[in-house]
Structure 1
Amino acid sequence: MLILGRREGDSIIIDGGIRIVVVSCDRGGVRIGIEAPSTVKILRGEIAQQVAQENQRAAAPTDASWLATLGAPVAPAATPAAVSAPVAPSADASASTETA
C-alpha cells in the first residue's frame, strides 16, 4: 500500500486517466474527488463488499421448502418416468374415438 500525505487541492494521478483530488480536510475526515473514464467502475469499499456477499448468497443452493410456508406449491423432484417424452397417439386410438 502506498501512503501519501496530501493537502487540500493536491491531487494524485493513477495510470489509466484516473485523478484523485483532495477536496477538503477536517477533523471529521477527508473529502476526495475522483475523475476517471466512464468505463472505470468506482465503488465505496463497503458497497463492493455488500455486493460480493449478496452475490455469494444468491449463488448458494437453497431449500425451497420455505415456499410452502407462504402457501406456494413446492414442485416435486422429477422422476425418470415423468421426464420421458410423451407418446404420440396411434392410428388405432384415433379410430376408436370416431363415431359411425
Structure 2
Amino acid sequence: MLVLTRKLNEAIQIGDDIEVKIIDIDGDQIKLGISAPKTVDIHRKEIYQAIQDENNNAASISVDMIDLIKKNQKNY
C-alpha cells in the first residue's frame, strides 16, 4: 500500500485519467473529490463489497434450481 500525505486542495494522480483531491478536512473526516472518466465505477468500499456479495450470491444458484426453472418454462 502506498501511503501519501496531502493537505487541503492538494491531489494525487492515478494514471492519466483519475485525480483524487482533498476538498475539505473537518476533524476526523476528509472530503475527497474524484475526477475520473464516466466509464470508471466509483463506490464507497462498503457499497462495492455489498455489490460483490450480491453478484456472488446470484452466481451461486444451484444447478437444481436452474433445472427447475427450465422444467417450468417447458410447461408453459
**TM class by shorter-chain length?**
0.7 to 0.9
Greater strand share, 1 or 2?
2
Unaligned runs of 5+ in 1: 65-74, 79-100
Partner of 2:20: 20
Deviations 1:2-33 (A, max 9, x none): 11111111011110311111001121310000
TM-score, normalised to structure 2, is 0.74
**Relative CO higher for 1 or 2, CA cutoff 8 Å, sep ≥ 6?**
2
Answer with 1 or 2: which has the greater Rg.
1
Listed one character per residue, the Cα deviations across residues 57-98 of structure 1 (whole Å, up to 9, x for unaligned) are 11223576xxxxxxxxxx6xx6xxxxxxxxxxxxxxxxxxxx
Percent pairwise identity: 36
- Counting only pairs closer than 5 Å after superposition, residues 83-94 of structure 1 correspond to structure 2 as none
Q: How many residues of Structure 1 are paired with residues of Structure 2 in the alignment?
A: 67
TM-score, structure 1 normalization: 0.58
How big is the alpha-carbon RMSD for the aligned residues of Structure 1 and Structure 2?
A: 2.2
Looking at structure 2, the residues matched to 11 and 42 of structure 1 have their Cα atoms a distance apart, in angstroms, of 17
**Runs ≥4 residues deviating over 4 A:** none
Q: Counterparts of 1:61 and 1:11 in 2: how far apart (Å)?
A: 43
Q: Which runs of 5+ in 2 are unaligned?
A: 72-76
For residue 71 of structure 1, what is the aligned residue in structure 2? none
